[in-house]
Amino acid sequence: MNKQALSGQREYFKMVHGVTLRLIGTFTDEELDFQPRPEMRSVRDLILHIYGAEKAMTEGTLAGKVTDAEENKGIPETEEAKPILAGLKTIADVQDYARRCHKAADEALAAISDEQLARPVESPFGTFLGWQFFNFCYDEHWHHRGQLYTYARLLGKEPPMLYDYENSPVRNPSI
């Protein structure tokens, strides 16, 4: 896959991100610690994971290697993630974090070359071609966003329609 094709996919991902930001906005600050079972991640943990992984994988692809230290910033159970989690106190904080991480991924794609996308990139979970890490971000996002939808419903909320892209960053850059 080349940069042009990946950039087209990324435009769609921006709309998905917009829906996710609206979903996050349905939670209250107090609900950031909600988890259906003690062994499951909280709302805050899932948001950190979705967006921290996106940032780590895309910046790592640009750098040529996804390191344990960077990847662990997106894994709530690690020491590297604790300072980040401590700063995510409110819904506004987590939405800002999500925006910053998503923007960092956009910037990594803007800076990357077709050659970098085609080269093997090592990571804690295997070696893959660079472009595949951008797709892993997309897969992780959808998977864990599904968990957030379930959490919202468990809390009695009506989450945004999954494919309602009217208020997406592509259509509304202020998101």
pLDDT in tens, 70-85: 888 889 999 999 999 9
- The domain in which residue 119 lies consists of 3-154
With respect to residue 24, please indicate whether it lies within any of the assigned structural domains: yes
Q: How many CB atoms lie within 10 A of CB 143?
A: 12
Contacts for 28 with CB less than 8 Å, ≥ 6 apart: 91
| pLDDT band per the 50, 70, 90 thresholds, residue 172 | low
CB 28 within 8 A of CB 100: no
With respect to residue 159, please indicate whether it lies within any of the assigned structural domains: no
Closest alpha carbon to 152 in 19, 51, 38, 49: 19
With respect to residue 164, please indicate whether it lies within any of the assigned structural domains: no
With respect to residue 105, please indicate whether it lies within any of the assigned structural domains: yes
Segment 45-63 shows an average pLDDT of 96
pLDDT exceeds cutoff 70 at 105: yes
Alpha carbon distance 161, 149 (integer Å): 10
CATH code (residue 52): 1.20.120.450
With respect to residue 163, please indicate whether it lies within any of the assigned structural domains: no
With respect to residue 50, please indicate whether it lies within any of the assigned structural domains: yes
Q: What's the number of domains the chain is made of?
A: 1
Q: How far is CA 120 from CA 50, 56, 58, 131, in A?
A: 23, 16, 13, 9
